[in-house]
Amino acid sequence: MYPVRVPLYMSPRGKKTAVTRSKVILGAGLLTLLLSCQEQTWESAMAAGQQAVQQGNYAEAERIYQEAVKKAEAYGREDRRVAISLSQLAQVYAGQGKHVEAEPLYLQALKIYQAVHGETHADVAATLNNLGVLHRMYGQYAEAEPLLTRALVIKEQLMGPDHPDVALSVANLGQLYVAEGQPGRAEPFYRRALTIRQKALGPSHPEVAKTLEDLASVLRKLGRSHEAVALDLQAREIRARRS
């Protein structure tokens, strides 16, 4: 782009002077403002997409997030905002059972996150987790396990073994083994998730109640109904206290 030539005028003493340097400064300020507005437009689109999801309007959420992807790509096709937009769009597809549409978007987002952050980052772990859950939902258990396991390893490295996000990955692996018909393998994962959540979130948190119920279901599959009843009772007591 060629520089803009500023008109000149003659001073009383005949010296050429720029009309005003402030116009150049003003132009730079307007450019900054336009760029900030562009960023806000992407942020506004993301907020609108989230609102559409909360309202259950998935068709509208699809349209909004597709537009958000385009806006994000204006910053560069490997900008982190592109990955965020793709991930949100993939979640909308997955929520509607559109596995074929969701998987390539998650993979594209994963590639961007890895390029931006490297292999060990929370965004990478979250996307691996989402891909693993997606495969599990569609019965692709062999594909799901290494993705969920890798997500867990990254989270443990970043957050330590007792973080609530670690509990999420642990529980997802437990759910995978239940889906595979391996409740005995699932039990220690649910017990670990329960311990982490009780410690990190408190004994009366809804996530603790949910994990108690999941563990009780596993114990019933193992023929240990007496233990399961006690866990279900604990879960009901937590929910009753919070109602």
Q: Which pLDDT belongs to residue 199?
A: 97
Residues 139-178 pLDDT 10s: 999 999 999 999 999 999 999 999 999 999 999 999 999 9
Q: Using the CB atoms, write b or e for 55-69: b if 16+ within 10 Å.
A: eeeeebbbebbebbb
**SS3 state at 91:** helix
Q: Give the residues across from 17 on adjacent strands.
A: 9
Residues 6+ apart with CB under 8 A from 157: 120
Q: What pLDDT does 40 receive?
A: 57
Element (H, E) at 155: helix 141-159
Task: Give me the residues of the chain with pLDDT under 50, please.
Answer: 1-39
Q: What's the chain's Rg over C-alpha atoms?
A: 26
pLDDT at 87: 97
- Rounded to two decimals, the pTM is 0.80
Return the pLDDT at 242: 82
